[in-house]
A and B are shown apart, each in its own frame.
Chain A
Amino acid sequence: GAGVSQSPRYKVAKRGQDVALRCDPISGHVSLFWYQQALGQGPEFLTYFQNEAQLDKSGLPSDRFFAERPEGSVSTLKIQRTQQEDSAVYLCASSRTTNEKLFFGSGTQLSVL
């Protein structure tokens, strides 16, 4: 595709529900990142993939957060038993290779009620 695509654009969940957020990176991009951005804050790193390998997940805030990229293209960020503090915009970014320019998707705005 022309850019990084994320879906859904908006997600409202009841506390305790599981959610799955999808990221479709630019075709051929090796590196894929997930960031969490709370209102008024800068994006905070969650996790990083190089192809299908999850090389760094040190930013995931708890074991309720899980990310995968099984075929090295589309990635899914799953949040189990959502809590109100999970409300944020979740941004996905990809780059052709390591240390190259990052292209961001429009994000998924998650609201947990």
Chain B
Amino acid sequence: RKEVEQDPGPFNVPEGATVAFNCTYSNSASQSFFWYRQDCRKEPKLLMSVYSSGNEDGRFTAQLNRASQYISLLIRDSKLSDSATYLCVVLGGSGGGADGLTFGKGTHLIIQP
């Protein structure tokens, strides 16, 4: 079983809609969780960290469910500029090396005008 699993999509969503996607992880000892954003032919960039209590940054909300071993990302009032691949990232999974990050394959989001 892959360490970090995501639905690859693509998710085609009209501008202004709310979209959410989940990510599951297999290593219950994983310590920290993140969402990274990657634009086409660009490097990944940190979008937000995911805290146990859940956290919100503007239109973006991230949540962690340790019992079910998944994290989620919710985007409200989606913008065209939100179109990108969203990578679920886990710190402390064995697939990332001793101190490294394990990435999911990413969820491709397309916001349509």
Contacts and interface: CB of A to CB of B under 8 A. Distances in A.
Interface of A: 31, 33, 35, 40-45, 47-48, 50, 55-56, 58-59, 91, 98-99, 101-102, 104-107
Interface of B: 4, 8, 31-32, 42-46, 87, 91, 95-106
B88 to A, nearest CB: 8
B91 A48 contact: no
A106 B95 contact: no
Given A42-B104, A55-B98, 14 more contacts: A33-B100, A40-B8, A42-B4, A42-B103, A43-B103, A45-B96, A45-B102, A48-B97, A55-B99, A56-B99, A99-B31, A101-B46, A102-B46, A104-B45
A56 B98 contact: yes
A3 to B, nearest CB: 9
18 contacts: A31-B99, A33-B100, A42-B4, A42-B87, A42-B104, A43-B44, A43-B103, A45-B100, A47-B97, A48-B100, A50-B99, A56-B97, A56-B98, A99-B31, A99-B91, A101-B46, A104-B44, A106-B43
A91 B95 CA distance: 16
A33 B97 CA distance: 9
B104 A58 contact: no
Contacts of A50: 99
B42 A45 contact: no
Nearest to A58: B97
Contact of B95 (A31, A45, A99, A107): A45
A71 to B, nearest CB: 21
Contacts of B104: 42
